[in-house]
Amino acid sequence: MSTEAVIDVRDLQKWYSLNQGFLSSILGREERHLKAVDGVSFALGRGEVLGLAGESGCGKSTTGMTVLQLHQPTGGEIVFEGRNMASVRDSASMKEFRRKAQIVFQNPYESLNPRFTVEQSVQEPVTIHFAGDPTERVIVAMERAGLVPVENFLSRYPHQLSGGQLQRIAIARAISVEPRFLVADEPVSMLDVSIRAGILNLFKRFADELGMSILYISHDLSTMRHVCTRVAIMYLGRIVEVGPADEILDRPQHPYAQALMAAAPVMGARNRKRVQLQGAVPNPIDVPGGCSFHPRCPKAISACNKVAPEFRAIGARRSVACHLYA
Ligand code: SF4
């Protein structure tokens, strides 16, 4: 794995305005925002898999979509191959970025056109991005996605296939254009447990053998251990801890990361210490001041509701945003 970043995301923001209406503008109402992503930074080297974990609604999927510019960022930089794609507007550059930065969605039943055969589905992005006969690229992509023998699948339609096979087709589509960066957004959460490992192995192979850099988004921490080199924990639109996967999963330092790990099911673990969080996730429209986790944090100190903690290094490759490590 190279240390040079394939993609370098800096202080990314995705805010949604809550009062855009005509009435709000003439009444001069103070603008309010839902800050789905608020200052997220990470870099991914070649062949690196970064897991992005957190509760539903923490902003992890919005982060993936915004990095790919499927949502327009509100602020920050997305440096890809030396260019800040957040400020690039020319269509040729964006088309090239869309080829090199792909996504696999959670729901394979919705991500494929039901009227397309498998061959048409996998071929479509190839014909958009490459001139000439697409056949060879289609076959290679399908073989890499484990759809073998390829000829058994080419003429079939989505309704004739299982969920696992559909997700492999969605994956074949994504890798058919030889991306350097892939966002995998909960790619196994809708699949039977028995076939998840096979799909997860694909991502690991793409990283190890093709050097693909992958942002793997999931609320399922057990799958992170299998595929990720590093793991980042998100809470209310921000990363609160990041580091090597085994360190974060085995020895989390941030109190929220500790609670998340303690709640994750682990096979055979009986007398694990539970960390009980108080209350529900706060409304993202009205994020608590200071550390946004303070109303639920079992370790909060007096500074926590006043001052937002800075992100600090607590090891060679590990950082945490918490006053306990100041
Ligand atoms: Fe808890 Fe304070 Fe650390 Fe936030 S900064 S996680 S409230 S101890």
As to burial, measured by CB atoms within 10 angstroms (0-12 exposed, 13-18 middle, 19+ buried), residue 23 is: exposed
Question: What value does the mean pLDDT of the chain take?
Answer: 92
Q: Is 240 in the pocket of ligand 1 (CB under 6 A)?
A: no
User: What order of strands is seen across the sheet that includes strand 5-17?
Assistant: 33-45, 5-17, 75-80, 83-84
Q: Whose CA is nearest to atom 5 of ligand 1?
A: 322
What is the DSSP pairing of strand 319-321 with strand 238-244? antiparallel
Residue 199 is predicted with a pLDDT of 96
Residue 30 is predicted with a pLDDT of 72
Residue 134 is predicted with a pLDDT of 97
Work out the average pLDDT over 267-282. 65
> Is the CB of residue 288 less than 8 Å from the CB of residue 305?
yes
Query: What is the model's pTM?
Result: 0.93
User: What are 238's two structure tokens?
Assistant: 């921000």
pLDDT in tens, 142-165: 999 999 999 999 999 999 999 999
> Is the CB of residue 237 less than 8 Å from the CB of residue 224?
no
Q: Whose CA is nearest to atom 8 of ligand 1?
A: 300
Phi, psi (degrees; rounded to nearest 5) at 85 = -70, -15
Give the closest residue to 121 by CA, choosing from 111, 129, 130: 111
Q: How far apart are CA 14 and CA 236, in angstroms?
A: 12
Work out the average pLDDT over 225-250. 96
Q: Is 224 in the pocket of ligand 1 (CB under 6 A)?
A: no
Work out the average pLDDT over 198-227. 95
Report for 2-6, 171-175, 270-274: range of highest mean pLDDT: 171-175
Q: In this model, does residue 266 exceed pLDDT 70?
A: no
Return the axis-axis angle of helices 118-129 and 163-175, rounded to nearest 10°: 20
Q: In this model, does residue 263 exceed pLDDT 90?
A: no
Q: In this model, does residue 59 exceed pLDDT 80?
A: yes
CA of 310 to the centre of ligand 1 (A): 11
- Domain extents in the chain: 5-325
Give the pLDDT band (50/70/90) at residue 24: low
> Is the CB of residue 243 less than 8 Å from the CB of residue 318?
yes
Work out the average pLDDT over 248-256. 95
Q: Is 299 in the pocket of ligand 1 (CB under 6 A)?
A: yes
User: What are 174's two structure tokens?
Assistant: 């994504």
CA of 241 to the centre of ligand 1 (A): 12
Q: Whose CA is nearest to atom 3 of ligand 1?
A: 322
Give the pLDDT band (50/70/90) at residue 182: very high
Q: Is 293 in the pocket of ligand 1 (CB under 6 A)?
A: yes
CA of 75 to the centre of ligand 1 (A): 26
Residue 326 is predicted with a pLDDT of 85
Look at domain 5-325 and name its CATH class.
Answer: alpha beta
CA of 230 to the centre of ligand 1 (A): 22
Residue 23 is predicted with a pLDDT of 63
Residue length of the chain: 326
User: What are 77's two structure tokens?
Assistant: 């930089």
Give the closest residue to 121 by CA, choosing from 179, 172, 79: 172
CA of 121 to the centre of ligand 1 (A): 48
> Is the CB of residue 284 less than 8 Å from the CB of residue 36?
yes
Q: How far apart are CA 6 and CA 79, in angstroms?
A: 8
CA of 298 to the centre of ligand 1 (A): 8
Q: In this model, does residue 25 exceed pLDDT 80?
A: no
The more confident residue out of 252 and 315 is 252
Residue 272 is predicted with a pLDDT of 58
Mutate to test the pocket of ligand 1, among 234, 291, 320, 325 (most ligand atoms within 8 A of CB): 291
Work out the average pLDDT over 309-323. 94
Residue 267 is predicted with a pLDDT of 52
Give the pLDDT band (50/70/90) at residue 270: low
Task: Tell me which residue has tokens 């990470």.
Answer: 42
Work out the average pLDDT over 173-185. 98
Give the pLDDT band (50/70/90) at residue 135: very high
CA of 253 to the centre of ligand 1 (A): 11
